[in-house]
Amino acid sequence: METSEPAGLDTLYADAHILVFNKPSGLLSVPGRGDDKQDCLSARAQRAYPDALVVHRLDMSTSGLIVMARGIAMQRLLNAAFAGREVAKRYTAVVAGRPDGEHGQIDLPILVDWPNRPLRKIDWEHGKPSCTRWRVLETMDGSTRLELEPVTGRSHQLRVHLAAIGHPILGDALYAPATVQAMAGRLLLHASSLALQHPATGVARHWDCAAAF
């Protein structure tokens, strides 16, 4: 039985099979280690929708669209859709400087930086193939607003790729130099669009959620 939403939970869509939320920046997707890291999107979702199950995640500092499954059967179907790259995702980011051209593609292999976990790094020998497409949305003074499409779904992929080509995301405490970190009070990365085939009905569904920056 569904209950009223707890404070801080922004439900954009809900039916008997799936849920779509707008996660705020600064909120974990799932619980972390320690009592101070138990407040998270999945815990809030399960208080309102007890059968809500995690399918994918966003970094704590990233805001935007997350889909969750209602029940094990839907979780399996959605997990398969994500694994099969059948879910289309777009992000909005503000990066330092101005990339060359109006659009492009970043193909750089990513590997966990084991001595410095949770950081990732570019590693041509051992890294996993990783691809990000980008398109300029707006040019500003010293920065550029981009639309990003992660073709692959590596952890920290967008942040690592943009930093690697010399245009780190503003406010990125992990991969940007101090001067770029200081250009924003938070990571300016937002999951702004999500499209998939509904796992129960087969109908194509699409959600948009504009960035608040």
Nearby residues of 127 by Cβ (< 8 Å), 6 or more positions away: 108, 109, 110, 111, 121
Catalytic residue among 10, 39, 51, 59: 59
Residue showing tokens 């101005």: 98
Residue 98 CB coordination number (10 Å): 13
Q: Determine contact, residues 99/136, Cβ cutoff 8 Å.
A: yes
Distance CA 18, CA 206 (A): 13
Q: Judge whether 107 counts as a catalytic residue.
A: no
Distance CA 169, CA 159 (A): 7
- DSSP-assigned letters across all residues of 82-140: HHTT-SEEEEEEEEES--SSSEEEEE--EEE-GGGTT-EEE-TTTPBP-EEEEEEEEE-
Q: Determine contact, residues 153/166, Cβ cutoff 8 Å.
A: no
Q: What angle do CA 200, 66, 10 make, to 5 degrees?
A: 105
120, two tokens: 């990732």
What positions carry a catalytic annotation?
59
